């Protein structure tokens, strides 16, 4: 299947999922996850109308952003503090804020560059060892602490669903993130314009849309399997 057709298929599935649920968002942004994919495939997706692209590694994001600066680049993978300096000013949205020390570094680099950096907090709902992210009991306090960082704008929450065979085990995780998102949005904090709920990947984005995601991060269903060679 070519990339334009795959994009159309994913968008159709998003609309179908939206139609199935009262919790679905009015609009869902499709983030094309282009990690490991060559520039030609990314350019083909852009030519087919795709605007937003996600990368999980800083170096790959920076290189691709230099080649294709007209695209909107999102960082979706874990960000190390010593790499923050490379991404400031280059991303539309960082989906993976997961510690206060990282927030402090983003603040410092953003202030030096006179930019406001938009972020999502990554939440580790099931407290899985293999994943980064703020645990649920710490989330409200974490959000409060961001008040100290005027060059960071909190735009919402992100999570990665558990890797399980039974898709219906994923649903409660997404549901919980939506409830947390609504709870934090209801605080109406001046530095938090809570608009984005980023959840769902190729195998579970339809469940995520049913549970209220308004950004889904889809890679292999658009570009085909990744080649990690």
Ligand X SMILES: *Cc1c(COP(=O)(O)O)cnc(C)c1O
Contact residues: ligand X, CB under 6 A: 33, 35, 56, 76-77, 160, 201-202, 217-221
Min dist CB 70 to ligand X, Å, is: 22
Return the number of the residue (54 or 212) whose C-beta is nearest ligand X.
54
Distance CA 206, CA 13 (A): 7
Question: Quick check: helix, strand or coil at residue 72?
Answer: strand
CB of 147 to ligand X, least distance (A): 27
- Looking at residue 225, the DSSP 8-state letter turns out to be S
DSSP 167: G
Least spacing, CB of residue 170 vs ligand X, in Å: 13
Question: Is-contact 103 146, C-beta < 8 A?
Answer: yes
Beta carbon of residue 187, minimum distance to ligand X (angstroms, whole number): 26
**What is the rounded CA–CA span in Å between residue 102 and residue 107?**
9
> Which residue of this chain has its Cβ atom nearest to ligand X in the complex?
219
CB of 150: closest distance to ligand X in angstroms? 27
Eight-state DSSP code of residue 57: S
Does residue 49 come out as left (phi exceeding 0), alpha (psi in the -120 to 50 range) or beta?
Answer: left
Spatial distance between the Cα atoms of 124 and 131, rounded to a whole number of angstroms? 7
Nearer to ligand X, 56 or 117 (CB): 56
Residue closer to ligand X, measured from CB, 161 or 212: 161
125 or 160, CB closer to ligand X? 160
Instruction: In angstroms, give the least distance from the CB of 36 to ligand X.
Output: 9
The residue (of 56 and 65) whose beta carbon lies closer to ligand X is 56
CB-CB contact of 122 with 134 (8 Å)? yes
Q: First and final CA of the chain: distance in angstroms?
A: 22
Is the CB of 37 or the CB of 65 nearer to ligand X?
37
């Amino acid at each position: 299947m070519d990339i334009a057709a795959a994009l159309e298929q994913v968008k159709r599935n998003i609309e179908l999922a939206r139609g199935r649920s009262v919790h679905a968002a009015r609009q869902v942004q499709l983030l094309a996850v282009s990690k490991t994919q060559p520039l030609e495939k990314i350019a083909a997706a852009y030519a087919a109308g795709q605007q937003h692209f996600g990368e999980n590694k800083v170096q790959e994001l920076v290189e691709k952003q230099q080649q294709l600066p007209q695209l909107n680049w999102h960082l979706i993978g874990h960000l190390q503090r010593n790499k923050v300096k490379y991404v400031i000013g280059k991303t539309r949205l960082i989906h993976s804020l997961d510690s206060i020390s990282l927030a402090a570094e983003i603040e410092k680099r953003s202030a030096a560059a006179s930019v406001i950096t938009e972020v999502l907090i990554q939440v580790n709902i099931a407290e899985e060892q293999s994943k980064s992210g703020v645990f649920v009991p710490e989330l409200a306090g974490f959000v409060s602490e961001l008040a100290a960082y005027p060059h960071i704008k909190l735009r919402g929450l992100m999570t990665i669903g558990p890797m399980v065979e039974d898709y219906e085990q994923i649903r409660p995780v997404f549901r919980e993130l939506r409830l947390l998102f609504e709870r934090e949005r209801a605080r109406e904090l001046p530095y938090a314009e809570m608009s984005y709920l980023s959840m769902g990947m190729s195998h579970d984005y339809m469940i995520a849309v049913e549970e209220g995601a308004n950004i889904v991060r889809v890679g292999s269903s658009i570009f085909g399997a990744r080649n990690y060679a």
